[in-house]
Amino acid sequence: MRKVITGPLPDIATRFSRFLGQLWPHEALVIFTRECTGRPRKVAGKRAIVDRVTIDELDEIKQSLEPGGVYDGVAMLAGVRRRVWAIRDVCDTLLVLVPRPSETGAPDPDEVAAVFGIVATSIQHQVAQASPDYLAESRAASSERARTIAELTEVHEATLSSILGTLRSNDLDDRRSRITASETASAALISLRSASAADRALSEEAVTTAFAKLHGELRPLLKHREVDVEYIEPPADGRPLPGEVAHAARAMVRAIVLAFLAQPVLTRMRIAWDCDGDNVLIEVRDQGPGIIDRNALTRQLSGRLNTLRGRIDIESIPAWGSRVTLTIPLDPPAARPDEHLLSTLNPRELEVLAHLAMGKRNRTIAEELGISQSTIKFHVAGVLKKLDVANRGEAGAIAARAGIVP
């Protein structure tokens, strides 16, 4: 289980499937969690199954179960009614297993619930911490999904609009046929137009909801200190936050609050969020001794900020207090021709690419990452292939344009 939960988050389903395969052989495994706004589905197993599993199918299975519930039976999955075994963890993460046809038994529900509980909690914690790796992977996935939906919607909208124009023509004689076809096409058009709305519901948080969650997350940090905290809520009509931005904003505010609490004396603190349409604006200030470690706090937050292209400003005046402001863009930078290629890299490949952008050789990268040169060589080959470039210099140039740094 240590190996399952300590590797890169995007591959956790593959590691968990390998672990569970020893207990109960299966053809496919799906972990479904709305915590991960970029990739809510973590999958492993037969591509014919996992590539076709839809969010609606997983939602239907999840809604049929109470938290802690187990299901062993037939359900619609990947467009086919098939036998599945599912469990909904108490933290609202769903596990779905598709048994092999020869497998007639079922796993011990208590045993699987226990190990899946560890996996679900690990996912929840990794997302809450909003590591730079998670933010980069989530932002790339969100951008790619939104781009694909927009392209498909435009194509199908044009096609269906053309069909409707033809069917509404007075030149057609069969009125009943025309009405039926018109209603069918209209329903399909409405469904397609709602695709982007469904994507937003899955991948965004209302700014007021994100701020309310922050309030709850800070409560355990403050309960043992007599600090008067003033919360300035963002406007209710503020623009929704992409999931990765919401998680990162809360994680960074928690880090700032902990830095303030490390001071020997702290009586008052003010936490304010706002939106200007393009950015979420965060300000945390205190009435303390003004002795926070500005360099340490900047280093602690720089990974998340660099990934999201955010900015930080810290003022700390002895005997007056400290103020930290964050500006985090709500949109990723304008799409580049090579952006979709970057989204195909896994976290380790992105890490290696960042070092290639600095012009480092395999031996140096291996020493800094603590892995063998042969492993680095393998990752470099994978990076070059996925980015469709001929050499390390071209790959480094793509990384530099994207702002990918170690």
Q: Domain spans of the chain?
A: 2-129, 133-203, 206-329, 339-402
Task: Return the C-alpha torsion angle 159, 164, 166, 167, nearest 10.
Answer: 140
> 186: part of which helix (H) or strand (E)?
helix 175-193
How far apart (Å, rounded) are the C-alpha atoms in residues 164 and 84? 40
357, 405 Cβ separation under 8 angstroms:
yes
Mean pLDDT over the full length of the chain = 84
Architecture of domain 2-129: 2-Layer Sandwich (3.30)
How far apart (Å, rounded) are the C-alpha atoms in residues 228 and 271? 11
Least-confidence region, from 85-89, 99-103, 192-196, 250-254: 192-196
Closest CA to 203 of 270, 263, 264, 149: 149
How far apart (Å, rounded) are the C-alpha atoms in residues 345 and 343? 6
Alpha helices by DSSP H, 204-262: 207-222, 243-261
Residue with tokens 């999931």: 243
Query: Which residues are registered as beta bridge partners of 279?
Result: 329
How far apart (Å, rounded) are the C-alpha atoms in residues 15 and 60? 25
* pLDDT mean over 196-223: 81
Q: How big is the chain, counted in residues?
A: 406
* pLDDT mean over 9-37: 87
Instruction: Please report, as a single letter, which amino acid is at residue 18.
Output: R
Domains 2-129 and 206-329 share a fold: no
Least-confidence region, from 177-191, 201-215, 232-246, 273-287: 177-191
Least-confidence region, from 38-52, 141-155, 303-317, 351-365: 141-155
In sequence order, which residues have a C-beta less than 8 Å from that of residue 371 and are 6 or more positions away? none
pLDDT in tens, 289-342: 988 888 889 888 888 888 888 999 999 988 889 999 999 998 876 655 555 677
Q: What is the pLDDT of residue 203?
A: 72
> What pTM does this model have?
0.57
In sequence order, which residues have a C-beta less than 8 Å from that of residue 361 and are 6 or more positions away? none
* pLDDT mean over 210-235: 90
Residue 144 pLDDT more than 60? Answer: no
Q: What is the pLDDT of residue 208?
A: 93
* Residue 86, both tokens: 């599912």
Task: Return the C-alpha torsion angle 21, 26, 31, 32, nearest 10.
Answer: -170
Higher pLDDT residue, 200 or 264? 264
Residue 185 pLDDT more than 80? Answer: no
In sequence order, which residues have a C-beta less than 8 Å from that of residue 392 and are 6 or more positions away? 356, 380, 384
140, 242 Cβ separation under 8 angstroms:
no
Query: Which residues are registered as beta bridge partners of 28?
Result: 45, 98
CATH of domain 339-402: 1.10.10.10
How far apart (Å, rounded) are the C-alpha atoms in residues 52 and 13? 16
* pLDDT mean over 191-204: 60
Fold of 206-329: Heat Shock Protein 90 (3.30.565)
Helix and strand numbers (H, E) in the chain are: 16, 12
DSSP assignment of 316-339 equals EETTTEEEEEEEEESSPPPP-TTH
What share of the chain in percent tops pLDDT 90? 33
* pLDDT mean over 20-25: 86
Higher pLDDT residue, 104 or 144? 104
Q: What is the pLDDT of residue 229?
A: 93
